[in-house]
Amino acid sequence: MTLVTWQSWLVRTFARGTLAAAFMRTHWGWPAAESVHFIGLSLLFGTIVVWDLRLLGVGRRIPFAALHALLRWTGIGFALSAGSGVMFLMTEPTEYVYNPSFHFKMACLAIAGLNAAAFYLTGYGRAVTSGTRDVAPRAAKLFAVISLLAWLGVIVFGRLLTFYRPAWCEATPATFVARCVPSLNQQ
């Protein structure tokens, strides 16, 4: 599958969310979803920063096992942001699928996710939360640094989306590539 067919498949798939798009096109639909997206961002980022900084040595009086319970709210924040984020995609899929800033944002998100998965799969998660030491092993600190950088990247590239929107082009999701991607039109 080439990049072009993969992208047009993505656009068509997200464009199927017509119910969500109808809500988003109501007067307050888009700003409401944006508000949820930012509140989710704050919950997600605030709680993950506390956890990652604790791994890096801030707040040593807090036991890791006790603090780990806070991360449930990282998940809740993520659910709010991801849910509202998919709403944006279902309403204006071409604005994101063909936006380079969105590609970087998703890459950072993937790094954050893989990094979190690796933290637990390598056993460091268990070692930190079930141990009695108040200092995290050095490798666990590396996970924390990668996590902080990746989430910062998600926020920055998210904010930069608006500056890298593809030029406006009148088309339906099905005809977008054919009508609006110049390199293909020339062929």
Q: Please report, as ranges, the residues that interact with another protein according to CB under 8 A.
A: 31, 34-35, 38-39, 41-47, 49-50, 53, 58-63, 65-70, 72-73, 77, 152, 155-156, 158-160, 163
Q: Quick one: 82 or 180, whose CB is closer to another protein? A: 82
On whether the CB atoms of residues 84 and 36 are closer than 8 A, the answer is: yes
Shortest Å distance, C-beta 78 to another protein: 12
Query: CA–CA distance from 144 to each of 57, 89, 133, 150, 187 (Å)?
Result: 11, 30, 17, 10, 47
Q: Residue 187 in 3-state DSSP?
A: coil
The closest of 156, 158, 184 to 171, measured between CA atoms, is 184
DSSP, residue by residue, 73-91: HHHHHHHHHHHHHHHHHHH
Smallest distance, Å, CB 38 to another protein?
5
Q: Tell me the closest approach of the beta carbon of residue 20 to another protein, in angstroms.
A: 18
Phi, psi of 67 (to 5 degrees): -70, -30
Q: Which is nearer to another protein, 11 or 109 (CB)?
A: 109
Tokens representing residue 48 in the block: 């993950």
- Cα 89 to Cα 108: distance, rounded to the nearest angstrom: 18
Distance from CA of residue 156 to its chain's centroid? 11
Nearer to another protein, 29 or 166 (CB): 29
Question: Which one, 17 or 63, has the nearer CB to another protein?
Answer: 63
CB nearer to another protein: pick between 67 and 181 = 67
Q: How far is the CB of 53 from another protein (least distance, A)?
A: 7
What is the smallest separation between the CB atom of 83 and another protein, expressed in angstroms? 16
